[in-house]
């Protein structure tokens, strides 16, 4: 057993043996083997590589967003050789991937979530994953050849441009980047931001949502999605956005301006007015991928917390942190919440496998809210265990927190999902009310059958003023 992999007091227990029992029937033998390979690759190769990756990025804004760390290419080569490539594309819908179900990939993604480099190294990094799904599902043969193939091969990267700075993007009908057809071209004008991955110099294709038919009476028909090569004239990356102090270089989150950007009509995906159809298919799996990786990140935070609690050099008031009851309480609560979060994510993945993203709407929304809360609480406690070391560059915790924090916002803030969940559940309100009333009516009948007069538990029937009523 490699020292890089020991994960319990009994040494190394493989990932495949730690799958929750309830999920096991859904995991093929091949997936189990791959899962163990993924864990090994992440723990032995990727996590150690993370430090190198950070060192290979420059320090000034411009350097950081033009560097391309060599180690990522070396990891990609290793991953390809191991067969750990394009794991995310669900076998039910795509022939291009590694042939796993969402559930199986979900188990793997947990481990990818423990390393900065692992998702990209296995070509499973957002936003490429969702973009590849869009292209594979809706792209023309030409579009696939030009963009999907190099993406699948890890040669180029991509961005998904939807959110805009000047509107409430949590409601996508507000998206307003102008798309105007002129001859056989579409002309784009407007601004996008939070274009994740746009900072990467290898990012060559943007999938852009805009408003092509602003006067359509059906609000869900006004939008289109179009493919825009990153080097099309008129596009400027104005600035990168920071996330709780981090720039997430070299990928980053771009604020991009479109000034009369012209794209051939053949770049339209599916045809004008089909924007909503496309993004709805895209967002579901993405949310699950985020959630899966977040479970892994939470485990990592808990591992770091436990490591600190065993640090012999850190004995406030003469006791190891692990001898302080409050710390053990937090460990236990983290354990409970993470295990519960994992089950919810796996159940959602299976629901997608058995229906599709739309069929798993409720389950996806649930984990969208549940998982980041668990993640952030765990990281927060881990930070606190480390004291000042926990907020600085000496642990990965602060950076993890910044990423976890955005999970409560990306793809719609929690509040939107909660509102939607609440409304859907509320649809059952009348049914519950009428059932409860029907049951009460039956109670009344039964009372009669049993010859009982209905009495209140505290029946008094007294004339007020204290005297008993006849």
Q: Is 187 in the site for its own copies (CB under 8 A)?
A: no
Q: Is 111 in the site for its own copies (CB under 8 A)?
A: no
Segment 307 to 366, residues that bind its own copies, using CB under 8 A: 307-311, 313-317, 322, 324-333, 335-336, 339-341, 343-344, 346-347, 350-351, 354, 362-363, 366
Q: Cβ closer to its own copies: 138 or 276? A: 276
Buried b (16+ CB within 10 A) or exposed e, 131-146: bbbbbbebbeeebbeb
Q: Is 9 in the site for its own copies (CB under 8 A)?
A: yes
How far lies 113's CA from each of 107, 118, 121, 300, in Å?
Answer: 10, 7, 12, 9
- The SS3 call for residue 19 is coil
Q: Is 112 in the site for its own copies (CB under 8 A)?
A: no
Contacts for 77 with CB less than 8 Å, ≥ 6 apart? none
Q: Is 25 in the site for its own copies (CB under 8 A)?
A: yes
Segment 140 to 169, residues that bind its own copies, using CB under 8 A: 163, 165-169
Q: Cβ closer to its own copies: 270 or 320? A: 320
Q: Cβ closer to its own copies: 271 or 358? A: 358
Residue 128 CA to residue 159 CA, distance in Å, equals 7
Site string for its own copies, 370-399 (x = CB under 8 A): x------------xx--xxxxxxxx---xx
Q: Is 83 in the site for its own copies (CB under 8 A)?
A: no
Of 22, 431, 84, 105, the C-alpha closest to 293 is 105
| Binding range to its own copies, per CB under 8 A, among 136-144, 267-275, 286-294, 459-467 | 459-467
Q: Which of residues 31, 49, 72, 108 is near its own copies by CB under 8 A? A: 49
Per the CB < 8 A criterion, the answer to whether 176 and 208 are in contact is no
How far lies 99's CA from each of 76, 89, 123, 269, 311, in Å?
Answer: 19, 7, 14, 25, 43
- Output the smallest distance, CB 358 to its own copies, in A: 15
Centre a 10 Å sphere on the Cβ of residue 263 and count the other Cβ atoms it contains.
20
Q: Token match 């409050």: residue?
A: 326
Q: Which of residues 81, 141, 215, 231 is near its own copies by CB under 8 A? A: 231
- The SS3 call for residue 231 is coil
Q: Which of residues 132, 226, 235, 288 is near its own copies by CB under 8 A? A: 235
Copy the structure tokens of residue 464: 């007020």
Q: Is 18 in the site for its own copies (CB under 8 A)?
A: no
**Partners of 8 in the beta sheet?**
11
- Output the smallest distance, CB 238 to its own copies, in A: 6
Q: Token match 């579409």: residue?
A: 186
Contacts for 407 with CB less than 8 Å, ≥ 6 apart? 290, 294, 371, 372, 375
- Output the smallest distance, CB 230 to its own copies, in A: 4
Angular region, 395: left φ>0, alpha ψ -120 to 50, beta rest: beta
Q: Cβ closer to its own copies: 272 or 353? A: 353
Segment 190 to 209, residues that bind its own copies, using CB under 8 A: 193-194, 198-199, 201-204, 206
Q: Cβ closer to its own copies: 136 or 398? A: 398
- The SS3 call for residue 67 is coil
Total of residues contacting its own copies (CB under 8 A): 184
Segment 240 to 269, residues that bind its own copies, using CB under 8 A: 240-247, 252-254, 256
Q: Is 427 in the site for its own copies (CB under 8 A)?
A: yes
Residue 251 CA to residue 196 CA, distance in Å, equals 7
Q: Is 14 in the site for its own copies (CB under 8 A)?
A: no
């Amino acid at each position: 057993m490699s020292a890089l992999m020991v994960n319990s007091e009994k040494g190394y227990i493989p990932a495949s043996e730690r799958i929750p029992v309830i999920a096991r029937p859904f995991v093929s033998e091949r997936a189990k083997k791959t899962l163990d390979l993924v864990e090994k690759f992440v723990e032995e190769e990727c996590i150690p590589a993370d430090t190198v990756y950070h060192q290979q990025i420059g320090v000034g804004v411009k350097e950081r967003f033009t560097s391309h760390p060599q180690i990522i290419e070396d990891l990609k080569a290793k991953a390809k050789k191991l067969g750990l490539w394009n794991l995310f594309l669900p076998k039910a819908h795509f022939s291009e991937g590694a042939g796993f179900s969402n559930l199986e990939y979900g188990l793997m993604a947990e481990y990818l979530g423990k390393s900065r480099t692992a998702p990209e190294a296995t070509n499973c990094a957002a936003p490429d994953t969702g973009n590849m799904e869009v292209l594979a599902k809706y792209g023309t043969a030409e579009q696939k050849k030009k963009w999907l193939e190099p993406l699948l091969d890890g040669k180029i990267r991509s961005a998904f441009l939807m959110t805009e700075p000047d509107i409430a993007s949590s409601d996508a009908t507000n998206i307003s980047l102008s798309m105007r057809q002129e001859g056989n071209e579409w002309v784009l004008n407007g601004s996008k931001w939070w274009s994740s991955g746009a900072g990467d110099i290898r990012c060559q294709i943007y999938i852009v949502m805009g408003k092509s038919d602003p006067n359509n009476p059906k609000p869900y028909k006004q939008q289109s999605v179009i493919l825009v090569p990153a080097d099309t004239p008129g596009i400027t990356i104005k600035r990168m956005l920071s996330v709780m102090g981090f720039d997430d270089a070299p990928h980053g989150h771009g604020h991009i301006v479109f000034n009369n950007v012209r794209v051939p009509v053949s770049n339209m995906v599916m045809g004008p007015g089909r924007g909503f159809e496309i993004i709805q298919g895209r967002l579901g799996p993405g949310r699950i991928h985020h959630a899966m990786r977040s479970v892994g990140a939470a485990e990592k935070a808990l591992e770091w917390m436990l490591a600190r609690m065993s640090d012999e050099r850190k004995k406030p008031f003469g006791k190891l942190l692990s001898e302080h009851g409050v710390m053990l309480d937090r460990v236990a609560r983290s354990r409970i919440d993470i295990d519960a979060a994992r089950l919810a994510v796996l159940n959602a993945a299976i629901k997608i496998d058995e229906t599709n993203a739309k069929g798993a709407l409720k389950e996806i929304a649930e984990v969208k809210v549940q998982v980041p809360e668990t993640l952030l609480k765990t990281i927060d406690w881990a930070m606190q265990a480390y004291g000042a070391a926990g907020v600085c560059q000496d642990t990965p915790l602060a950076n993890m927190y910044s990423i976890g924090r955005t999970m409560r916002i990306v793809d719609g803030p929690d509040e939107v999902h909660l509102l939607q969940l609440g409304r859907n559940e509320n649809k059952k309100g009348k049914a519950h009310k009428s059932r409860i009333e029907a049951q009460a009516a039956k109670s009344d009948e039964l009372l009669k059958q049993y010859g009982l007069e209905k009495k209140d538990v505290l029946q008094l029937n007294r004339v007020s003023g204290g005297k008993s009523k006849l």
